[in-house]
Amino acid sequence: MNTLFGERKEGATKIVLKSVDEYPEAPVTLGTTLINFTGDWRTFIPVIDDSKCVKCYICWKFCPEPAIFIREDGYVGVDYDYCKGCGICANECPTNAITMEKEEK
């Protein structure tokens, strides 16, 4: 997806170290979470049904990442590069507009 809150992320490229020589000598982080797509960890993916959404933004408030952003049209979107699939948004949504589906990879 390569976006941060709907905007294209500058310099967001996942680092994959292929040989031991490419590793830093000490185990230190090589950048910010911009390059660490924690969305990889997800098993269940939140899917939002805009027709049920009442724009209360409770999901946006509760997302611990935060990976939920408010789109220009006022509905909410999910940054799937960082959403770990915890399901808190779906649990909190008062209109059941968010469902957690098993993600096929």
67 Cβ neighbours under 8 A, 6+ residues apart: 39, 78, 79, 80, 81, 82, 83, 84
Applying CB under 8 A, the site for other proteins has a residue count of 11
Question: Cα–Cα distance between 55 and 48 in angstroms, integer?
Answer: 12
Q: Which of residues 2, 6, 30, 75 is near other proteins by CB under 8 A?
A: 30
Q: Which of residues 7, 8, 11, 28 is near other proteins by CB under 8 A?
A: 28
Per CB under 8 A, 20 contacts other proteins: yes
Q: What are the phi and psi torsion angles at 58 (to 5°)?
A: -60, -40
55's torsion region: left (phi>0), alpha (psi -120 to 50) or beta?
A: left
Per CB under 8 A, 14 contacts other proteins: no
- Count of beta carbons in the 10 Å neighbourhood of residue 46: 26
Q: Which stretch binds other proteins (CB under 8 A): 22-30, 44-52, 64-72, 85-93?
A: 22-30
Q: Which of residues 6, 13, 23, 94 is near other proteins by CB under 8 A?
A: 23
Q: Which of residues 7, 8, 11, 27 is near other proteins by CB under 8 A?
A: 27
The site for other proteins (CB under 8 A) is made up of 17, 20, 23, 25-32
